[in-house]
């Protein structure tokens, strides 16, 4: 080993705590980037492979009923590559151990052969045989997992009014139901909604549908236009009660998966990028200052005949050692945490398997960025050091030009102690260095703000959605829209305190070229249960004409209050209406449009009809209420608000929560690393000066006060700056979490600010304590010897 | 003061026979320009011969260190001639200067400038690693009487010992020129003497041209020739018939 390398090792050992701090900061930035990018890569690749291998369809359609012969007409449409027809019917389930009724969507399995499209993946057991046995059914994994069901268990379903018991033959997954959520529900509720498959003949017979289908899935030939195919399918199916074909973008599961990935991208690209930049900046500034401290050694090496290249290489190796440690730790951390996160998504998305895939391009890119940042810091410092004539560099620096600090010149000096004045002048003498330290402290504060703003945003969504907007206990929906009498029936159910009607109509809203499908909700003008709330947040009164849409929907359709949009009704008698937008509602999940219920019914020309009711139930009568619901065949669905809230907590909230915790851990490490390093560098840069003060008769406490005073002053300036900067980061990052299914509001609480301030204050206190202890160790004689 | 060449007493080689290492004419170094220009050297003429022991005297700011840096290739002149063995140092590029410093020049600084993380032996070896035909670090350290302290780190050595390590480091490459900038400036008299003796011994035994900066006029008696600088010019040249023994000098 060359002697320069030996020097390197010993220097590293002497600086180990700082080297470790820099490596950790770098590792945190890298780990976060690798973890999140790999997670996205894993999800996307898994999804794409799954879709391809299991032939996920591209266009879907629902209809009332069409004879099987129509299938050939569909297959003949130009651009259609493959067609799968079948039956999909929603039924009420009676699940053992579940007090409330659940809803099942039963899909048919073809009479002969396998599904052509949307093929199933068999997790355990087998598919129902059909020809030899009856009353066998396969269940989707999410529902099975929520209820602990396994092959051989039984489940009861009401098929066309008759309650039948089925044996579970196996647990399956389908690319159509990666996210098992009921249609029109923004959130999954795996306890009360499940997906099933049974043989066509048995299902069709039960519903008198044999020889017909009500569900179509299609794949496109290469180069075919989705829009043309959709239009052609709509034409073919028009006589059969079609509800309009749609592409993947409107497919509920697909869009949820897409949006979850997009949420993840929002949370996992912008912030890690900020983080990586902060880490890179820190590494750069620490390395450059560390090397500036060795300027006399650099000068000596030069004077003794070492070339700039040799000196440069030596210091590059120095930073290389730290970079290698940082990259190694960061990669391991990123893989470890990424694997854990992937494990969590496995419970959330139903893929046959979801394995962690390391995003190698990001690994390389992030490592290169970190290494470059370190090397640029080194290069700058080495260049500055070698540029000085060696003889000059070896002498102690010329005394800096001090002058009274600005605050002193303002006549405030009598309020300050000598130590404090010295601290002030020190800061002012080196504005760039003080500025860098201050910026580092501010960045440390800022990155602490972001993760907690995720947490607070999620908490706000939960409160907003389920306390401010939804104040009902349950939402009951009818099998078919019914007369107002149904509302009276609901009100007479045991335990019902209050009920308000709603009307759901599937519509297609159009403004210019943009089209979205959703359920238009008719609600009482000033309901007390499911309320329409604006951004303030205050309740909006639904007027007797016009439509209120959620702000997100308005921005997608590019419309404002006062504009008119076209609503195409997709149920019953198809018709198109032009309605003016009269207000914007706020919501954070899905998209919504509201009208006053009677106004909506007038437009539909169907008389007073309701789709169901939002109901408040007295908890004391809860079991009786649920039993009554189960006994009422007209009730198709029963959505319990608390289960929805739980579902949200367990999925989106949990994934954001886990990310938030990991981010928080990293941010804390980085904040400590930054502050500790700043204090260490400031101490070593000033060792001589501080020793001189000691020799001149200042006490250890007074000298400590100069150093600590400086850190405290810089921290005081940095904190508000950091809070401001952090709020900006949070705003930028949260605004990327803005999808059609999930959005996060920017919520900045005083608790969030207080926590960031606390961490930075603690880290500063710890670093100051450490610096003060080091100060006691300074050997006064040797620190001064080289002075004159 | 006598400035004419005359008979030299041993041990310094006869000047007539000695080779001229540095040929300096009208050497000037001006820092900055315009009204902010500072003239550090204002036209120096001198020749330095192999094996000589030279003392540069002068007050602070007189230009001694600037001249030494010019001789050592640490800085380039603004104008004038600066020849080393006939080669014009003023025209050397960075790489050539590096090679010049590596092969021909040994530096001793007032502040020692040892690498704190290397032992005495390693500090010397650091330099011998990069030059042709160096002495063994042990040999160089023995020359400065530090054979028994070789494995100590700088922090474990006294100031005089550290300066002697610095000298060992400078001479281990067998330089033709040894440039010492206030080598005793930070030392007490007794320690200073041991350091100067080490330099003188190297000069005598290896025949290295030694140029020593000091502001202590008493030390001038140890030299073959003495130049006094003021305001960037040589204001006095003196030649000693006999170099005084260092132990006889008191300051």
CA distance A710 to chain B (A): 28
Question: Is B116 inside a domain boundary?
Answer: yes
Nearest C-alpha in A relative to B76: A389
Residue bearing the bigger pLDDT, A221 or A772: A221
Kind and range of the H or E run holding A755: helix A750-777
Predicted pLDDT at A130: 66
Rounded to whole angstroms, how far apart are CA atoms A759 and A761? 5
Nearest C-alpha in B relative to A10: B117
Query: Model confidence at A779, in pLDDT bands (50, 70, 90)?
Result: low
Question: B137 contacts in A (CB within 8 Å)?
Answer: none
Has residue B11 got a pLDDT over 50? no
Predicted pLDDT at A191: 81
Rounded to whole angstroms, how far apart are CA atoms A352 and A121? 7
Question: A314 contacts in B (CB within 8 Å)?
Answer: none
Cβ–Cβ pairs < 8 A, chains A and B: 87
Predicted pLDDT at A678: 78
Angstrom CA distances, A241 to A75, A235, A488, A520, A551, stand at: 19, 11, 31, 19, 32
What are the DSSP calls for A592-661, one per residue? -EEEEHHHHHHHHTS-S-EEEEEEEE-GGGHHHHHHHHHH-TTEEEEEEHHHHHHHHHHTHHHHHHHHHH
Please give the torsion angle defined by the CA atoms of residues A316, A318, A324 and A330, in that order, rounded to the nearest 10 degrees. -110
Predicted pLDDT at A26: 85
Predicted pLDDT at B76: 85
Predicted pLDDT at B9: 39
Using a CB–CB cutoff of 8 Å, tell me whether B127 touches chain A. Answer: yes
Domain limits for position B213: 51-72+104-248
Predicted pLDDT at B183: 87
Which residues does A209 contact at the CB level (< 8 Å), separation at least 6? A65, A87, A203
Query: Model confidence at B251, in pLDDT bands (50, 70, 90)?
Result: low
Using a CB–CB cutoff of 8 Å, tell me whether B158 touches chain A. Answer: no
Number of domains observed in the structure of chain B: 1
Query: Model confidence at A96, in pLDDT bands (50, 70, 90)?
Result: confident
Let me know how long chain A is.
788
User: What would the mean pLDDT of A233-249 be, rounded to a whole number?
Assistant: 88
Structure tokens at A518: 């959703």
Predicted pLDDT at B52: 94
Predicted pLDDT at B195: 84
* Arithmetic mean of pLDDT over chain A: 85
> pLDDT digits over A612-659, tens only?
999 999 999 998 998 888 778 788 778 888 887 887 787 777 777 888
Query: Model confidence at A783, in pLDDT bands (50, 70, 90)?
Result: low
Which one, of A18, A36, A671, A664, lies nearest residue A326 by Cα? A18
Has residue A401 got a pLDDT over 70? no
Question: Is B35 inside a domain boundary?
Answer: no
Question: B110 contacts in A (CB within 8 Å)?
Answer: 395
> pLDDT digits over A292-322, tens only?
778 788 888 888 888 888 888 888 888 888 8
Angstrom CA distances, B183 to A391, B40, B62, B180, stand at: 13, 21, 17, 6
Nearest C-alpha in B relative to A295: B113
> pLDDT digits over A254-283, tens only?
988 888 788 777 777 777 777 777 777 777
Nearest C-alpha in A relative to B180: A391
Using a CB–CB cutoff of 8 Å, tell me whether B155 touches chain A. Answer: yes
Residue bearing the bigger pLDDT, A203 or A432: A203
Q: What is the residue extent of each domain of chain A?
A: 57-254, 411-468+641-788, 496-617
Predicted pLDDT at A786: 45
Query: Model confidence at A183, in pLDDT bands (50, 70, 90)?
Result: low
Question: A395 contacts in B (CB within 8 Å)?
Answer: 110-111
Express as a percent the part of chain A with pLDDT over 70: 93
Report whether A752 contacts A653 (CB < 8 A): no
Question: Is B185 inside a domain boundary?
Answer: yes
Rounded to whole angstroms, how far apart are CA atoms A21 and A38? 25
Has residue A391 got a pLDDT over 90? no
Has residue A581 got a pLDDT over 70? yes
Residues 165-184 of B with CB under 8 A from A: 169-170, 173, 181
Q: Which of A11, A296, A390 is nearest residue B117 as measured by Cβ atoms?
A: A11
CA distance B136 to chain A (A): 14
B130 to A306: CB separation less than 8 angstroms, yes or no? yes
Which one, of B116, B115, B111, B117, lies nearest residue B127 by Cα? B115
B101 to A303: CB separation less than 8 angstroms, yes or no? yes
Has residue B105 got a pLDDT over 80? yes
Predicted pLDDT at A414: 62
No. of helices (H) and no. of strands (E), chain A: 24, 20
A7 to B127: CB separation less than 8 angstroms, yes or no? no
Question: B159 contacts in A (CB within 8 Å)?
Answer: 785
CA distance B235 to chain A (A): 24
Residue bearing the bigger pLDDT, B155 or A282: B155
Query: Model confidence at B5, in pLDDT bands (50, 70, 90)?
Result: very low
> pLDDT digits over B38-93, tens only?
899 999 999 999 999 999 999 888 999 889 989 988 888 999 999 999 999 988 88
Hey, of B76, B93, B98, B191, which one would you mutate to test binding to chain A, going by the most A CBs within 10 A of its CB? B98
Question: B122 contacts in A (CB within 8 Å)?
Answer: 3, 6-7
Q: Coil, strand, or helix at residue A2?
A: coil
B111 to A296: CB separation less than 8 angstroms, yes or no? yes
Predicted pLDDT at B6: 39
> pLDDT digits over B186-242, tens only?
778 887 888 888 889 889 988 899 999 987 888 889 999 999 999 999 999 999 988
CA B99 to chain centre: 18
Predicted pLDDT at A336: 92
Report whether A402 contacts A77 (CB < 8 A): no
Return the CATH number at B61.
Answer: 3.40.50.300
Kind and range of the H or E run holding B82: strand B79-84
Question: A303 contacts in B (CB within 8 Å)?
Answer: 72, 74, 101, 107, 109
Which residues does B16 contact at the CB level (< 8 Å), separation at least 6? none
Has residue A330 got a pLDDT over 50? yes
Using a CB–CB cutoff of 8 Å, tell me whether B129 touches chain A. Answer: yes
Has residue B161 got a pLDDT over 80? yes
């Amino acid at each position: 080993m060359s002697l320069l390398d030996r020097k390197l090792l010993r220097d590293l050992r002497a600086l180990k705590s700082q080297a470790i701090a820099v490596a950790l900061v770098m590792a945190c930035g890298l780990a976060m980037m690798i973890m999140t990018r790999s997670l996205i890569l894993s999800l996307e690749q898994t999804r794409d492979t799954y879709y391809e291998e299991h032939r996920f369809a591209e266009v879907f359609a629902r209809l009332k009923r069409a004879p099987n012969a129509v299938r050939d007409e569909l297959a003949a449409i130009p651009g259609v590559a493959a067609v799968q027809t079948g039956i999909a019917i929603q039924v009420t389930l009676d699940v053992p151990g579940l007090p409330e009724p659940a809803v099942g969507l039963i899909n048919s399995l073809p009479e002969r052969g396998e599904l052509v499209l949307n093929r199933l993946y068999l997790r355990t057991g087998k598919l129902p045989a059909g020809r030899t046995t009856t009353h066998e059914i396969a269940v989707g994994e999410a529902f099975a997992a929520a209820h602990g069901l396994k092959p051989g268990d039984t489940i009861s379903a009401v098929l066309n009014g008759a309650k039948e018991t089925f044996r579970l033959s196996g647990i399956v997954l389908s690319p159509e139901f990666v996210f098992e959520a009921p249609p029109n529900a923004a959130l999954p509720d795996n306890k009360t909604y499940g997906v099933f498959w049974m043989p066509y003949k048995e299902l069709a017979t039960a519903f008198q549908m044999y020889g017909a289908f009500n569900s179509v899935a299609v794949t496109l030939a290469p180069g075919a236009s989705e829009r043309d195919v959709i239009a052609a399918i709509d034409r073919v199916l028009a006589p059969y009660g079609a509800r309009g074909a749609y592409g993947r973008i409107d497919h509920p599961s697909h869009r949820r998966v897409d949006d979850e990935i997009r949420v993840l991208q929002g949370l996992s690209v912008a912030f890690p990028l900020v983080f990586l930049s902060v880490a890179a900046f820190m590494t750069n500034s620490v390395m450059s200052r560390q090397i500036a401290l060795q300027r006399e050694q650099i000068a000596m090496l030069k004077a003794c005949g070492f070339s700039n290249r040799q000196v440069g290489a030596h210091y590059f190796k120095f930073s290389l050692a730290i970079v290698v440690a940082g990259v190694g730790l960061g990669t391991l951390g990123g893989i470890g945490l990424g694997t854990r996160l992937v494990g969590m998504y496995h419970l959330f998305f139903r893929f046959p398997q979801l394995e962690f895939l390391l995003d190698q391009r990001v690994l390389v890119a992030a490592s290169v960025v970190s290494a470059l940042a370190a090397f640029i810091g080194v290069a700058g410092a080495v260049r500055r050091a070698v540029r000085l004539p060696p003889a000059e560099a070896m002498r102690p620096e010329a005394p800096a030009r001090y002058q009274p600090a600005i605050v002193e010149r303002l006549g405030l000096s009598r309020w300050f102690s000598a130590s404090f004045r010295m601290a002030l002048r020190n800061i002012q003498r080196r504005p760039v260095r003080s500025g860098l330290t201050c910026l580092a402290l501010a960045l440390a504060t800022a990155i602490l703000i972001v993760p907690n703003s995720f947490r607070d945003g999620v908490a706000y969504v939960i409160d907003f959605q389920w306390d401010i907007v939804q104040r009902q206990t349950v939402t009951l929906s009818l099998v078919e829209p019914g007369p107002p009498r149904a509302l009276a029936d609901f009100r007479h159910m045991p335990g019902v305190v209050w009920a308000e009607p709603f009307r759901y109509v599937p519509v297609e809203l159009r403004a210019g070229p943009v089209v979205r499908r959703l359920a238009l909700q008719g609600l009482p003008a000033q309901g007390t249960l499911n309320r329409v709330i604006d951004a303030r947040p205050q309740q909006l009164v639904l007027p007797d004409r016009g439509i209120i849409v959620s702000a997100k929907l308005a921005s997608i359709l590019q419309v404002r209050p006062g504009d008119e949009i076209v609503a195409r009704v997709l149920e019953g008698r198809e018709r198109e209406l032009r309605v003016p937008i009269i207000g914007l509602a706020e919501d954070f999940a899905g998209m919504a449009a509201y009208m006053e219920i009677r106004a909506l019914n007038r437009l539909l020309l169907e008389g007073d009809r309701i789709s169901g009711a939002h109901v408040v139930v007295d908890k004391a009568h809860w079991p009786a209420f649920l039993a009554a619901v189960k006994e009422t065949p007209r009730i198709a669905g029963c959505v319990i608000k608390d289960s929805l809230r739980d579902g949200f907590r367990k999925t989106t909230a949990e994934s954001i929560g886990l990310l938030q915790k990991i981010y928080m851990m990293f941010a804390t490490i980085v904040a400590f690393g930054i502050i500790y390093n700043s204090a260490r560098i400031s101490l070593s840069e000033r060792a001589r000066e501080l020793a001189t003060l000691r020799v001149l008769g200042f006490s250890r406490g007074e000298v400590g006060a100069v150093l600590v005073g400086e850190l405290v002053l810089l921290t005081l300036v940095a904190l508000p700056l950091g809070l401001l900067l952090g709020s900006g980061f949070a705003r930028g990052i949260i605004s990327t979490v803005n999808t059609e299914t999930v959005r996060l509001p920017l919520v900045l609480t005083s608790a969030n600010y207080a926590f960031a301030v606390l961490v930075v204050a603690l880290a500063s206190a710890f670093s100051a304590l450490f610096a003060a202890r080091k100060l006691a160790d300074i050997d006064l004689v040797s620190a001064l010897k080289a002075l004159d | 003061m006598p400035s004419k060449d005359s008979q030299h007493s041993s041990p310094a080689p006869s000047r007539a026979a000695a080779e001229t290492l540095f040929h300096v004419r009208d050497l000037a170094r001006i820092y900055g320009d315009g009204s902010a220009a500072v003239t550090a050297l204002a036209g120096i003429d001198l020749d330095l011969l192999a094996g000589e022991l030279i003392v540069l005297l002068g007050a602070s700011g007189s230009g001694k260190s600037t001249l030494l840096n010019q001789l050592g290739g640490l800085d380039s002149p603004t104008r004038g001639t600066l020849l080393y063995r006939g080669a014009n140092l003023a025209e050397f590029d960075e790489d050539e200067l590096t090679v010049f410093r590596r092969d021909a020049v040994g530096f001793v600084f007032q502040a020692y400038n040892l690498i704190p993380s290397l032992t005495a032996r390693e500090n010397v070896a650091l330099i011998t690693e990069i030059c042709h035909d160096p002495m063994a670090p042990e040999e160089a350290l023995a020359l400065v009487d530090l054979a028994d302290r070789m494995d100590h780190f700088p922090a474990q050595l006294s100031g005089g010992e550290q300066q002697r390590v610095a000298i060992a480091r400078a001479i281990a490459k067998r330089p033709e020129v040894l440039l010492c900038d206030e080598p005793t400036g930070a030392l007490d008299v007794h320690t200073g003497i041991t350091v100067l003796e080490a330099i003188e011994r190297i000069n005598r035994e290896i025949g290295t041209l030694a140029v020593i900066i000091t502001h202590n006029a008493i030390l001038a008696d140890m030299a073959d020739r003495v130049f006094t600088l003021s305001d960037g010019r040589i204001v006095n040249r003196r030649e000693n018939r006999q170099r005084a023994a260092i132990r006889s000098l008191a300051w």
